[in-house]
Amino acid sequence: MTDALAMGGYGVYVWSCFGLTLIVIIICTVQAWRRHRTIFNNARTQIRAMKSD
Amino acid sequence: MTVYEEQFPGLWQGFAAVVKRDLTLAWKRPGDVLNPLFFFAMVSALFPLAVGPSQEQLQLSGPGVVWVAALLAALLSLNSLFLSDFEDGSLDQLILSPQPLPMLALAKALAHWLVAGLPLVLVSPMIAVSFQMPGQTVEVMLITLTFGTISLSMLGSIGAALTVGLHRGTALLSLLILPLAMPVLIFGARTVSLAAANDPVAAGIYFLAAYCILTLTLAPFATATALRISSE
Amino acid sequence: MAIWNFLHKMASPPHFYGLAAKIIPWFAVTGIALFVYGAIGGLFYAPPDYQQGDAFRIIYVHVPAAYLSMLAYVVMAIAAGIGLIWRIKLSHAVAASAAPLGAWFTFLALVTGSIWGRPMWGTWWEWGDPRLTSELIMLFLYFGYMALRAAIDDTAKADKASAILAMVGAVNIPIIHFSVEWWSSLHQGATLVRADGPAIETTMLYPLLAMIFGFSFLFGALLLQRVRAEVLFRERRSRWVHDLVMPAGDTQ
């Protein structure tokens, strides 16, 4: 198990690359969904504000 | 038909009128021509001061320094390419004129080259001498700089047309144009380096000539479309 | 004419908004499955490279990221061109949404390439490698595109101006790539051994292909979600958004 993780001495490089990939994909995902939700909620708030006027 | 021809000047007359107008304006404001030249000379002088006076090092870095300095100097003057026309409304006149706008955009870009690019080419041998460049290298440098600065003026006219009328236009313009100008810089500087090392230079010169023709052909259309959008 | 009706319907924002929501889960699941298969196959089952040992496994994230950085630009430029020529608003939204994703994947390709270079070349950055240098210029192109969009307040104007920039960039990218390639061929430096030679083993190749397709599906899902947000924002004053965001029983 530790052999597989060590990657023949290159473990740090290989795992940091895969970890970084995962982080970037997660950041992109969070950004996309959060942006959608913010815009959705803003639209709702704006319409409510218009109606209550 | 004849009435039409009498009413509107021909294609080349409109082209020449725009070039002549821009040259006259530049003549009346010599700072526009001189500032980029001083900038070019000063940036080139910064490198020996920063790197040290070692002759070998200067000889090696000379082509790169001249090219980077020329690129930045050409960029410096691009911001004003359409700015004064935009501010005084003559840009709208250009767009509304019956002349094909790409032709006028080409005229504007060539006028820019005559005012900002050509002087750089003419001054560059002085800087080359200070970097101990041998004679045949200077020749190659002049050829590459000629093709290169024309390409830069053409590429730059697209960027200037896209950013005209925007706040923070200058920094944005550099950000847009520098990556696109990379091929010119690479081939220009490397070809001069090759000449300094007595290696064959034909490939680089052919590439720069081809790129120059490509930008001369395509860039005016992009510039014209960009001008129409920017002046909406 | 059926195809035109279909395309026209596709390009209508409310229809697209709903359809994309149905497609995204499929893309996401396919992408994640391929990604997991590719990662496990690449990390544990592919044999170590005879020259690079286990360090070559970085290829399983580096190459897909580099591929996506190009694909995103192609998607962006084509969408921008369609938007400019046929004045389809949806395709401008696609172009605007593809740029940040492309920039992220370019960043990922750059950093993984740099980390890969450390054990291979003994340096974090090797100017002699044409692909890394091209990626760097690619990142600048994305930054320029996004900066131009951000500098123009009017969305319609920003769409058109940035579309021109994207198309000029698309013409230039092959030339930039070629010139960087020529430039580094003059340089007698270390070059990375290409792992995608003819004799590649299937246990090495399949995870790589899975990763490339997995990345593409994930990119598709992320792009669709970004376009949904973009469409919602652009159409925020329209009837259908109004009906969409207001719950049926909302009397307030």
Q: Per-residue DSSP letters for C31-75?
A: HHHHHHHHHHIIIIISPPBTTTBGGGGGHHHHHHHHHHHHHHHHH
User: Is residue A31 domain-resident?
Assistant: yes
Higher-pLDDT residue of C193 and C5 is C5
Measure the CA dihedral C223/C226/C232/C234, to 10°: -90
Q: Supply the pLDDT for residue C202.
A: 76
- CA gap A45, A37 in Å, rounded: 12
Here the ipTM equals 0.90
Name chain A contacts of C118, Cβ cutoff 8 Å: 13
User: Is A1 near chain C, with CB under 8 Å?
Assistant: no
HSE (CB half, 13 Å, CA atoms) of C207?
22
Q: Supply the pLDDT for residue C193.
A: 46
Q: Supply the pLDDT for residue A31.
A: 94
- Please name the member of B175, B183, B226 whose beta carbon is closest to the beta carbon of C176: B183
DSSP C205: H
User: Is residue A13 domain-resident?
Assistant: no
- CA gap C89, C238 in Å, rounded: 14
The C-alpha of A26 sits at a distance from chain C's nearest C-alpha, in angstroms, of 10
User: Is residue C62 domain-resident?
Assistant: yes
User: Is A4 near chain C, with CB under 8 Å?
Assistant: yes
Q: Which two tokens stand for residue B91?
A: 């840009």
Q: Answer yes or no: is pLDDT of C194 > 90.
A: no
User: Is residue C131 domain-resident?
Assistant: yes
Name the phi and psi angles at C49, rounded to 5: -65, 145
- CA gap B119, C49 in Å, rounded: 55
Looking up tokens 């696109």 gives B180
Name chain C contacts of A21, Cβ cutoff 8 Å: 61, 65, 108, 112
- Judged by CB atoms closer than 8 Å, whether chains meet at B163 and C151 is answered as yes
User: Is A47 near chain C, with CB under 8 Å?
Assistant: yes
Q: Supply the pLDDT for residue C147.
A: 93
Percent of chain B at pLDDT above 90? Answer: 40
- Judged by CB atoms closer than 8 Å, whether chains meet at C151 and B230 is answered as no
Question: What residue numbers bound the domain in which A26 lies?
Answer: 20-53
> B61 — alpha (psi -120 to 50), left (phi > 0) or beta?
alpha
- CA gap B192, B204 in Å, rounded: 9
The arithmetic mean of pLDDT across residues C220-232, rounded, is: 95
User: Is residue A4 domain-resident?
Assistant: no
Bridge partner residues of C49 (DSSP): C53
- Please name the member of C44, C222, C236 whose beta carbon is closest to the beta carbon of A28: C222
CA distances from C67 to B39, B61, C63 (A): 40, 34, 6
- Taking each helix axis as running N to C, give the angle between helix B11-28 and helix B101-112, from 0 to 180 degrees, rounded to the nearest 10: 30
- Judged by CB atoms closer than 8 Å, whether chains meet at B187 and C176 is answered as no
User: Is residue A28 domain-resident?
Assistant: yes
Q: Answer yes or no: is pLDDT of C188 > 60.
A: no
As for how many domains chain C has, the answer is: 1
pTM: 0.90
The arithmetic mean of pLDDT across residues C193-222, rounded, is: 79
As for how many domains chain A has, the answer is: 1
Q: Supply the pLDDT for residue C247.
A: 74
Chains B and A share 3 or more Cβ pairs within 8 Å? no
Q: Three-state secondary structure along C90-153?
A: HHHHHHHHHHHHHHHHHHHHHHHHHHHHHHHHCCCCCCCCHHHHHHHHHHHHHHHHHHHHHHCC
Work out whether the CA dihedral C105, C111, C114, C115 comes out positive or negative. Answer: negative
User: Is residue C248 domain-resident?
Assistant: no
- Spatial neighbors of C122 by CB under 8 A, at least 6 apart, are none
Which three-class secondary structure state does DSSP give residue C49? strand
As for how many domains chain B has, the answer is: 1
- CA gap A49, A51 in Å, rounded: 5
Q: Answer yes or no: is pLDDT of B146 > 90.
A: yes
User: Is residue A6 domain-resident?
Assistant: no
Mutation to test the C interface, candidates B79, B82, B185, B186, most C Cβ within 10 Å? B186
Name chain C contacts of B175, Cβ cutoff 8 Å: 140, 143-144, 147
Question: What residue numbers bound the domain in which C170 lies?
Answer: 22-45+53-189+203-233
Name chain B contacts of C148, Cβ cutoff 8 Å: 162-163, 172, 176
Q: Answer yes or no: is pLDDT of B1 > 50.
A: no
- Please name the member of A4, A13, A33 whose beta carbon is closest to the beta carbon of C119: A13
User: Is residue C250 domain-resident?
Assistant: no
User: Is residue A42 domain-resident?
Assistant: yes
Bridge partner residues of C53 (DSSP): C49
- Judged by CB atoms closer than 8 Å, whether chains meet at C179 and B172 is answered as no
Between residues 19 and 38 of chain A, which touch chain C (CB distance below 8 Å)? Answer: 20-21, 24-25, 27-29, 31-33, 35-36
- Please name the member of C60, C112, C246 whose beta carbon is closest to the beta carbon of A47: C246
User: Is residue C148 domain-resident?
Assistant: yes
User: Is residue C10 domain-resident?
Assistant: no
Q: Answer yes or no: is pLDDT of C7 > 70.
A: yes
- CA gap B185, B70 in Å, rounded: 10
User: Is residue C175 domain-resident?
Assistant: yes
Name chain C contacts of A14, Cβ cutoff 8 Å: 43, 54-55, 57-58
User: Is residue A15 domain-resident?
Assistant: no
- pLDDT per residue over B41-92, tens digit each? 888 888 888 888 788 888 888 888 889 999 999 888 888 888 888 888 888 8
- Judged by CB atoms closer than 8 Å, whether chains meet at A24 and C101 is answered as no
- pLDDT per residue over B173-225, tens digit each? 989 999 999 999 999 988 988 888 888 888 889 999 999 999 999 999 999 99
Under the banding of pLDDT at 50, 70 and 90, the label for residue B107 is very high
Closest to B152 (Cα-Cα) out of B130, B176, B124: B176
- CA gap B140, B196 in Å, rounded: 9
| Chain mean pLDDT for chain B | 87
At position C66, the amino acid (one-letter code) is A
Name chain C contacts of B207, Cβ cutoff 8 Å: 179, 182
